[in-house]
Amino acid sequence: MSNWTEMSAVQPVVSKMLINSLKRDRISHAYIFQGARGTGKAELSRLYAKSIFCKNRTGAEPCNDCKDCRRIDSGNHPDLHWIIPDGASIKNEQILKLQKEFSYTGMESERKVYVMENADKMTANASNRLLKFLEEPGAYTTAILLTENSQALLQTIQSRCQILALQPLQEGQFAELLNSEGISQSSARLLSQLTNNYEEAMEISGQEWFAKARKLVVQLVEVLETRPNEALLFVHSQWMPVMKDREMQQLALHLLLLWFKDIIYLYADRPDSVIYIQEKDRLENSLRHWTRQRATDCLQSIMEAKRQLDQNVHPALVMEKLTLQMQR
């Protein structure tokens, strides 16, 4: 998300507050961006930093073309410091290094911004050192702490920051966001059902196995409908070789689950809720084979298979059992 129009579409309340702070030149010295994984905390931080540094911005909107904007996009702006956990935690030495960096005059301007990912993972010593840093902020210093749980931060740190809560993205909004990033509408709708995390969705969309998994779901259903006696052979020869780990197997089962949910949607006369929008003709044909009750039974069987995978039951056994249940 490179502009406030896009950001406002997914985080309207927080965007409005930050836009107003930019227009009124009332940038706080410290923020906490709190939100679940995938709500856009890092993207929001990057956009806000652009607006702070961009010398050609219009209102709150950065130009996205000047030297400052391009450097922020590439991660090379000398006055924007990005801190991530060193291993499992953010350590005291990282905060000490940050303080040292901020004792120098800004390379490009008087402004300095630092963003800390997973701020709740600071060690006790790092938290105390950061607190001292926050107590004596520089005139043009802005801290942005990112966390899924602000309550895990010291109360004294919370009290010195403006806390902004990011809302989880709704499925429709998330699908539209992915579509705007160049992902096809059909893939975007599927991905929005698999994850609510932007980075994860983009990663999955670029993986070859995802495209194969979608085809395998359609093929497995077709085999179950037309050649049920060959279903076990299909699972072992086609399905299992592609689903090489439990994460892939879980996602593939979720894709299969969505197919039967679509059948239920069609029975309920809710065509707008269908996820496999490119396969509507096939879904219509599936209605001739799967009664509403059988489709519901398949949904329950797939959910049970997903639970068994979580319990470390052997994947091949899980799929064999599921296939036999769906053959009935």
Question: How many Cβ atoms are within 10 Å of 237's Cβ, its own excluded?
Answer: 10
Specify whether 11 is located in the same domain as 159.
Answer: yes
Specify whether 146 is located in the same domain as 41.
Answer: yes
pLDDT at 108: 62
Domain contains 291 = yes
Domain boundary among 112, 147, 168: 168
Q: Are 101 and 107 in contact (CB under 8 A)?
A: no
Domain contains 312 = yes
SS3 at position 179: helix
Domain boundary among 168, 184, 215: 168
Specify whether 150 is located in the same domain as 271.
Answer: no
Domain contains 198 = no
Domain contains 193 = no
Q: Are 289 and 225 in contact (CB under 8 A)?
A: yes
Query: At 118, which CATH number?
Result: 3.40.50.300
pLDDT at 174: 80
Domain contains 183 = no
Residue written as tokens 């599936």?
A: 286
Specify whether 148 is located in the same domain as 218.
Answer: no
CA atoms of 80 and 96, how far apart (whole Å): 16
Specify whether 159 is located in the same domain as 44.
Answer: yes
Specify whether 164 is located in the same domain as 219.
Answer: no
Query: At 292, which CATH number?
Result: 1.20.272
Specify whether 120 is located in the same domain as 252.
Answer: no
From the CA atom positions of the chain, what is the Rg in Å? 25
pLDDT per residue of the chain (328 residues) written in tens, 0 to 9: 678 988 987 899 999 999 999 999 999 999 999 998 778 899 999 999 999 999 999 999 999 999 999 999 999 999 999 999 998 899 999 999 998 888 776 566 678 999 999 999 999 999 999 998 898 877 788 999 999 889 899 999 999 999 999 987 777 778 888 888 889 988 999 998 888 777 788 889 888 889 999 999 999 999 999 999 999 999 999 999 998 888 889 999 999 999 999 999 999 999 988 999 999 899 999 999 999 999 999 999 999 999 998 888 999 999 999 999 998 7
Residue written as tokens 């899924």?
A: 148
Instruction: Give me the helices (H) in 58-184, please.
Output: 67-74, 92-102, 124-135, 155-158, 171-180
- Whose CA is closest to 275, among 188, 195, 196, 204? 188
Domain boundary among 106, 141, 168: 168
pTM of the model as a whole: 0.63
Specify whether 143 is located in the same domain as 253.
Answer: no
Residue written as tokens 């209102």?
A: 59
Domain contains 251 = yes
Specify whether 226 is located in the same domain as 315.
Answer: yes
Specify whether 9 is located in the same domain as 114.
Answer: yes
- Give the domain range for residue 217: 207-327
Sequence-separated (6 or more) residues with CB below 8 Å from residue 281? none
- Whose CA is closest to 112, among 152, 140, 144, 84? 140
Specify whether 159 is located in the same domain as 217.
Answer: no
Domain contains 61 = yes
CA atoms of 139 and 83, how far apart (whole Å): 21
Instruction: Domain count for the chain, please give it.
Output: 2
Specify whether 264 is located in the same domain as 149.
Answer: no
- Whose CA is closest to 295, among 266, 252, 319? 266
Domain contains 139 = yes
- Whose CA is closest to 133, among 85, 95, 164, 106? 95
Structure tokens that stand for 214 in this block: 């979608």
